[in-house]
Homo-oligomer: A and B are copies of this chain.
Amino acid sequence: MTTKVITAPKEWLLSKISSVTGNAVRIALWDGTQIVPPGITPVGTVRLKDWRCLARLALDPGLYFGEEYSAGRIDIEGDLPQLLTAVYPAVSGKRTAWFPKLISRWLEWTQDNTLSGSRRNIRTHYDIGTDFYRLWLDSQLVYTCAYFASPSETLEQAQVEKMDHVCRKVQLQQGDTVVEAGCGWGALALHMARHYGAKVKAFNISHEQIVYARARAAREGLAGQVEFIEDDYRSISGRYDVFVSVGMLEHVGLGHYKELGNTIHRCLKDSGRGFLHFIGRNRPMRFNPWIRKRIFPGAYPPSLRESLEVFEEHDFSVLDIENLRLHYARTLENWLERFERSAGKVAEMLGTNFVRAWRLYLAGSIAAFRGGTLQLFQIVFARATNNLIPWTRAHLYTDDDQQEQKWIAAMS
């Protein structure tokens, strides 16, 4: 492998890039030029197609790696999640230049989660089309971290177990009233109704998801027990035994936690149990700007400390927090594998650039959960004065699980 003589401006741009990639990968240019990390075997090769791509990467790698990869002006040789895992620690927190800062501010400003902003942000992602998500999610379309009680389980099993894990955490009982904030395609709400006899009101501002969830409820004879409401969490009214929210806090935005806390305070009975499940961080850091621009507008994964703002104002008592980071890495591995199997169909539906963008998003998420830059927190909480809380957490693990096995079998 010959390394060409590098001209000065190219060298400067390349050195900027390789300082960011942390020398874990080989960088190859359109003209045969290569930067090979010294002394170690690179985890893969990043191949740049032209000058513009090189310049943009040097200007803002966080934003333009995704842009150029999606457009096919960057190619990757090697395992994408592995390569991104290697690069991630080096990229994290390197955005101090003026241009990335400007981009970040601009995104923040244009993507604020007001009532109308939230609707726009959520629809960008979740209204791509149920037919698309059906190609690579599990059969119940659960688009959040699964719970693999043992690492060998299938995604189908692990999503059912996740729903039961949540139901056990809130001690769900026959006849309980539940409000769900951000219900996706309705799998959890319907699971609570069918298997626990709960009455559920489930809120979501994704139109496509609500339409699908209503149809499913009707088809399965659960429309009398589960009401799907196309509205914002801030509009929730009534008082409930249980509040649950799985995968919504990421979309609430740091400036709106007080509104979420007020909603929960308003709608949870004195004896009520609450549950929040969300992607978070060990310390405050925004999502990558490309993710914010193209995948999850308006999203922010709070540090665990930041997330607790939701609870302090109204004196909620945090009872239990579990970090399921490695479960999300495994969930995403399943999703990416299924996604790749359907890549041809996705390309027909949404184009090649879309396939490349979503491949990068899924692989990058695997890297972040594996590498510990993203976390998955489940928080159980109750009012400070509620003494009807479980004595220990043994009930989550030692119950007779025959019933559970039956559900898993029925769903698989």
- Chain A residues near B (Cβ < 8 Å): 89, 147-151, 282-284, 303-305, 308-309, 311-313, 315-323, 325-326, 370-373, 375, 383-387, 389, 391-394, 396-398
In the bound complex, residues from chain B placing their C-beta under 8 Å from that of A311 are 282
CB–CB B305/A389 < 8 A: no
Q: Which residue of B lies closest to A303 (CB)?
A: B312
Query: Could you list some 18 contacts between A and B, CB below 8 A?
Result: A282-B315, A282-B318, A283-B313, A305-B309, A305-B312, A308-B308, A317-B325, A320-B322, A322-B393, A326-B387, A326-B391, A372-B383, A372-B386, A393-B393, A396-B397, A397-B397, A397-B398, A398-B398
In the bound complex, residues from chain B placing their C-beta under 8 Å from that of A389 are 326
**A357 to B: closest C-beta gap in Å:** 27
CB–CB A323/B315 < 8 A: no
CB–CB B393/A317 < 8 A: no
Copies in the complex: 2
* Alpha-carbon distance A306/B313, docked complex (angstroms): 14
**A147 to B: closest C-beta gap in Å:** 8
Q: Known A321-B318, A323-B319, A397-B394; judge A282-B372 contact (CB<8 A).
A: no
In the bound complex, residues from chain B placing their C-beta under 8 Å from that of A282 are 311-312, 315-318, 384
Q: Top 5 closest A-B pairs, CB basis? A: A372-B384, A321-B321, A305-B308, A283-B312, A397-B397
Q: Known A372-B385, A393-B397, A398-B397; judge A318-B323 contact (CB<8 A).
A: yes
Q: Which residue of B lies closest to A385 (CB)?
A: B372
In the bound complex, residues from chain B placing their C-beta under 8 Å from that of A391 are 148, 150-151, 326
* Alpha-carbon distance A393/B387, docked complex (angstroms): 24
Q: Which residue of B lies closest to A330 (CB)?
A: B391
CB–CB A317/B387 < 8 A: no
CB–CB A375/B322 < 8 A: no
In the bound complex, residues from chain B placing their C-beta under 8 Å from that of A151 are 391
In the bound complex, residues from chain B placing their C-beta under 8 Å from that of A313 are 283
CB–CB B375/A317 < 8 A: yes
* Alpha-carbon distance A201/B326, docked complex (angstroms): 32
Contacts beyond the supplied A149-B392, A318-B375, A397-B398: 19 A-B pairs with Cβ under 8 Å: A150-B391, A151-B391, A282-B315, A282-B384, A283-B315, A284-B312, A305-B305, A305-B309, A315-B372, A318-B323, A320-B322, A320-B323, A321-B321, A326-B391, A371-B385, A372-B384, A393-B396, A394-B397, A396-B397
